[in-house]
Amino acid sequence: MKLRKVTAASAAVLALALAATACGSDNDKDSGSSPSGGSKKITIGIKFDQPGIGQKTPQGYAGFDVDVATYVAKKLGYSANQIQWKESKSADRETMLQRGDVDFIAASYSITPEREKSVDFAGPYLLAHQDVLVRADDNSIKSPSDLNSKKLCSVTGSTSAQNVKDKLAPKANLQQYPTYSACLTGLQNGAIDALTTDDSILAGYAAQSQFKGKFKLGGFKMTNENYGIGVKKGSDLKAKINTALEDMVSDGSWKAAVEKNFGPANYKNEPAPKIGDVKS
Ligand code: GLU
């Protein structure tokens, strides 16, 4: 395209028009520099409501899982604008992989023997721990066993809810909601006493400007949550994603993503796990 003869003003108009086209619905048909040469997309499952981990914002998608998934997708041959993000709620993850709704899932997704019966995992790429979030003025929950007399909220299909029922506080009045953000509303208005899930997620909520000073974490480290990238059982993506995760750690991108996403919440993360090293 020859721009030399157009005036500065019309060039600006033209630039805006081109930018608008690039953001338009034609996006889906964009062809990238794919190995096969054609247009292609990769569909990735993330959380939409977990600040610092996976969040849909008016500006786009953000969080540690988003950065890990974007890095992995690049190594698989997909640029950022070839990624289609899909919400993968905790209870939907295995089904979404089995049905082929997504190519892979990076959504605070803990590797467990139960889940490994139906899907495969690359990783782990982060080690988190189950904890509780309570109102800042509540001093009645000093240890996990105090939860037994409380109204506790967690999410259907999560390890957090299962662990409460199996071992952490079997006598607690457990409410299971579809998302953690739904629990958060209950915690705020007093409908529930504590929200339990991974400390990595809770730290992100506690640091939100609208919740500043309202909530605090227990700091209990009740479990090990080894975040993996879920793929369809038997998929050859697992080995490729493992290689990408190793590259992400060795070239410093993992550390940069940790600092960018967990720094604002002051979340003290564990060192990068070794691929295949799932802590029980
Ligand atoms: N990491 C836990 C899990 O995979 C809790 C967080 C979540 O539900 O995504 O179930």
For residue 166, tell me if it sits in a domain: yes
Verify that 114 and 137 share a domain, yes or no: no
pLDDT at 172: 97
Residue 63 has pLDDT above 60, yes or no: yes
Verify that 87 and 202 share a domain, yes or no: no
pLDDT tens string 169-181: 999 999 999 999 9
CA 4 to chain centre: 46
Going by pLDDT thresholds of 50, 70 and 90, the confidence category of residue 39 is confident
Q: Does any ligand 1 atom lie closer than 6 A to the CB of residue 131?
A: no
Out of 92, 94, 108, give the residue to mutate to test ligand 1, the one with the largest number of ligand atoms within 8 Å of its CB: 108
Verify that 163 and 239 share a domain, yes or no: no
3-state secondary structure of 105: strand
The residues, any chain, with a CB within 8 Å of residue 279's CB and separated by 6 or more, are: 127, 224, 226, 273
Q: Which of 199, 217, 235 is the last residue of a domain?
A: 217
pLDDT at 34: 44
Verify that 48 and 90 share a domain, yes or no: yes
Task: Report the alpha-carbon distance of residue 38 to residue 55 in Å, rounded.
Answer: 30
Q: How far is the CA of 226 from the centre of ligand 1 (A)?
A: 10
| Total Cβ atoms within 10 A of residue 240 | 16
Q: Does any ligand 1 atom lie closer than 6 A to the CB of residue 220?
A: no
Verify that 112 and 62 share a domain, yes or no: yes
Could you list the beta-strand ranges (E) of the chain: 42-46, 49-50, 54-57, 60-62, 83-87, 104-105, 119-128, 130-135, 151-155, 173-177, 194-198, 215-217, 225-232
Could you list the beta-strand ranges (E) of 185-246: 194-198, 215-217, 225-232
Average the pLDDT over 2-25 and give the result.
Answer: 40
Average the pLDDT over 268-273 and give the result.
Answer: 97
Q: How many domains does the chain have?
A: 2
Residues forming a β-bridge with 225? 128
pLDDT at 20: 39
Atom of ligand 1 nearest to the CA of 160: 5
For residue 241, tell me if it sits in a domain: yes
Note whether 127 and 246 are within 8 A (CB). Answer: no
For residue 113, tell me if it sits in a domain: yes
| Total Cβ atoms within 10 A of residue 188 | 15
pLDDT at 38: 57
Verify that 192 and 57 share a domain, yes or no: no
The residue written with tokens 């003869």 in the block is: 5
Verify that 50 and 180 share a domain, yes or no: no
Verify that 52 and 100 share a domain, yes or no: yes
Strand order in the sheet with 104-105: 83-87, 42-46, 104-105, 225-232, 119-128
Q: Does any ligand 1 atom lie closer than 6 A to the CB of residue 164?
A: no
Task: Report the alpha-carbon distance of residue 235 to residue 227 in Å, rounded.
Answer: 18
Strand 130-135, strand 215-217: pairing: antiparallel
Verify that 122 and 231 share a domain, yes or no: yes
For residue 9, tell me if it sits in a domain: no
For residue 197, tell me if it sits in a domain: yes
Q: Which of 183, 199, 217 is the last residue of a domain?
A: 217
Q: How far is the CA of 247 from the centre of ligand 1 (A)?
A: 25
Q: How far is the CA of 175 from the centre of ligand 1 (A)?
A: 16
Angle between helices 199-206 and 180-189 (to 10 degrees): 50
Domain with 118, as residue range(s), is: 35-128+226-265
| Total Cβ atoms within 10 A of residue 213 | 8
Verify that 193 and 71 share a domain, yes or no: no
Q: Does any ligand 1 atom lie closer than 6 A to the CB of residue 226?
A: no
Atom of ligand 1 nearest to the CA of 109: 4
Note whether 166 and 178 are within 8 A (CB). Answer: no
3-state secondary structure of 262: helix
Q: Does any ligand 1 atom lie closer than 6 A to the CB of residue 110?
A: yes
Q: How far is the CA of 155 from the centre of ligand 1 (A)?
A: 8
pTM: 0.87
pLDDT at 115: 98
Verify that 239 and 111 share a domain, yes or no: yes
For residue 114, tell me if it sits in a domain: yes
Average the pLDDT over 69-84 and give the result.
Answer: 98
Q: Does any ligand 1 atom lie closer than 6 A to the CB of residue 199?
A: no
Q: Which amino acid is at 214?
A: K
For residue 54, tell me if it sits in a domain: yes
Q: Which of 186, 217, 248 is the last residue of a domain?
A: 217
Verify that 82 and 160 share a domain, yes or no: no
